[in-house]
Structure 1
Amino acid sequence: MENQATQVISLPRLNEAAPDFDAVTTYGRKKLADYKGKWLILFSHPADFTPVCTTEFMAFQARKPQFDALNCELLGLSIDSHHSHNAWVLNIKEKFNVDIEFPIIADLDMKVATTYGMVHPGAADTSAVRATFIIDDKGVLRAMMYYPMSNGRSMDEFVRLVTAMQVSDANACATPEGWQPGDKVIVPPPSTIEQARARLASNEYECVDFYFCTKSI
């Protein structure tokens, strides 16, 4: 039986600088540096002219005003040519009356997809899985999510997550499961016994115990 070497996928790491790129898109060449000072959602899809991907692109477009309000840009990618991307965008406009107003990377050489670990053995040899990377305004990778080819993503969750991370950055706090704007946030646990005692005695927070305190912002 012939031995097959296991292909190791190299993934970028959270809280480190996002991998740089310089790629052709439907809006001209784009580099990571072009997004300095803005948040960025870089997301891959398996192929143009496929039904699940079409629903995702229309969903991203529908929520673009919300992302704009969060100072967050959108950037798609697949291992297709920019000619294919352009034709697909025009097809979406013709068939669904939706204008796709964000760029799509043409990654025929798979350079960006490989750098970001978007191509997984067993999924397809030349198709990028449904990977999503959230990069903050300092160019740091803050979140990454992978979905199977058969199931579309929830764009509402990406809006929620970007909002939550920005609130956490601005207020030095964490957010609980399913947090939405207006909900209480979680105060970081105290680091000393003295701080724990002071917190329990304070009226500033709502505490279940010393390690679990919330507040309104």
Structure 2
Amino acid sequence: MSSSTRSYPLITERNPKSPISEAYKILRTNIQFSNLDVDIQTIMVTSTAMGEGKSTTSANLAVTYAQAGRKVLIIDADLRKPTQHHILRVSNRVGLTSVLSHQCQLDAVLLDTTMDHLSIIPSGPIPPNPSEILASKRMNGLLEDLKSRFDIIIIDTPPVLAVTDAQIMAAQSDGVLMVVDSGKVKKDAALRAKASLDMVGAKLIGVVLNNISRSRSEGYYTYNYGSHK
């Protein structure tokens, strides 16, 4: 993906026919065909470190699924530095943590967005124990409930090398996308991130190389299968 996506986080909504938007559509298609034997319904998106574009990728991928007529939910499971409520322009007064701590019912935190077919559960108030909340039986039960309501669920998590949250959610997801900043992240860091996901049996369905210059990418975008490399 191009670095220009930072200026317009929801490029797929603002300019759906742009080359960058087309790249997200290609990503959507590649995910659909990444494993024909398994229905990939819950997709977790993470990165190796902060600032690599995982949240932007999560939101734009969600938009492309919604534009295809799928009923889509994006969950902001980054309970440390949430950003999806900013990107999708919704309130973060209540959210995922509110449901998991029994302060709200699910329907109170399922918010509509400005786009058809796309809903969001924002993070809600930042808790003192994010990892424990995500590892709870209530979180697992919540995901099962949401699977019956939505076609696609995209889960935005913290960077995998920073905290254990991403590993916890990876074990509960059908597939994992790892976003890597092509000009920032060194190979050994990316390999350590993959090893951390492998430890919990995560299915790494792809790696998105972000911030690639046009001259290098010839179209803004690179997608690599990562489960066997």
TM bucket (normalised to shorter chain) is under 0.3
Task: Tell me the TM-score normalized by structure 1.
Answer: 0.28
TM-score by length of 2: 0.27
Bigger-Rg structure (1/2)? 1
